[in-house]
Amino acid sequence: MIFEGFYGQKVELREDLLYYTPQELWVRPLEKDDELAFGVTHAGVILVSGFTYLEYLAEVGDLLEKEDDVLFVETHKAIFNIQAPISGRITRINENLKGEKVSILETNCYENPFFHMVPKESIDPKMVFLDVEAYKQALIRGESDHCGAGARVQRRSKYQKEEDHSK
């Protein structure tokens, strides 16, 4: 589905995906162990005018709580962390997006998930995340976080050791 007029642009909305608006993520349920793939939506790419740098703050095997930091991104408009949309274990990170290679999302956002997770507890993704029509309505209502405004900017994850700068 193509949604026209989103900040003067056409946005591709995939009907085979679910959506998480607080982080502008798409969600793809996978067949393996209730695993879910998460990536940035086309609207998310437009809102930040594209990505310039990505660094993972979590590793495969990490058990995260909802809103724990997963990755740090720099965009043309903001610097912020993307948090886990659910509690669960990280099962895959996309090594092909690290560093400046993240710019590929500008043309291939739906083909490149940021990470995969297995939920801590069994969930029905269709009950937790929005379908394409509900996501389109959220975009129309302006619920998207333009330019990452209000994003918590923290480069360090709670899982990384603090450095002692007092020396």
Question: What whole-number distance in Å separates Cα of residue 71 and Cα of residue 56?
Answer: 4
Question: What whole-number distance in Å separates Cα of residue 120 and Cα of residue 92?
Answer: 15
For the segment 10-29, the average pLDDT, to the nearest whole number, is 95
Q: Give the pLDDT confidence score for residue 105 in this predicted structure.
A: 94
Full set of structural domains in the chain with CATH: 2-148 (2.40.50.100)
Q: Give the pLDDT confidence score for residue 167 in this predicted structure.
A: 38
- Confidence category of residue 166, pLDDT binned at 50, 70, 90: very low
pTM for the whole structure: 0.85
Taking every pair of Cα atoms in the chain, the longest distance, rounded to a whole number of angstroms, is 56
Facing residues of 157 across strands? none
Nearest to 56 by CA among 157, 165, 158: 157
Question: What whole-number distance in Å separates Cα of residue 51 and Cα of residue 54?
Answer: 8
Average per-residue pLDDT in the chain?
A: 86
pLDDT tens-place string over residues 34-79: 999 999 999 999 999 999 999 999 999 999 999 999 999 999 888 9
For the segment 6-21, the average pLDDT, to the nearest whole number, is 92
For the segment 88-95, the average pLDDT, to the nearest whole number, is 97
- Per DSSP, 130 falls in state B
Question: What whole-number distance in Å separates Cα of residue 55 and Cα of residue 53?
Answer: 7
Q: Number of helices (H) and strands (E) in the chain: give both, helices first.
A: 4, 11
Q: Give the pLDDT confidence score for residue 5 in this predicted structure.
A: 81
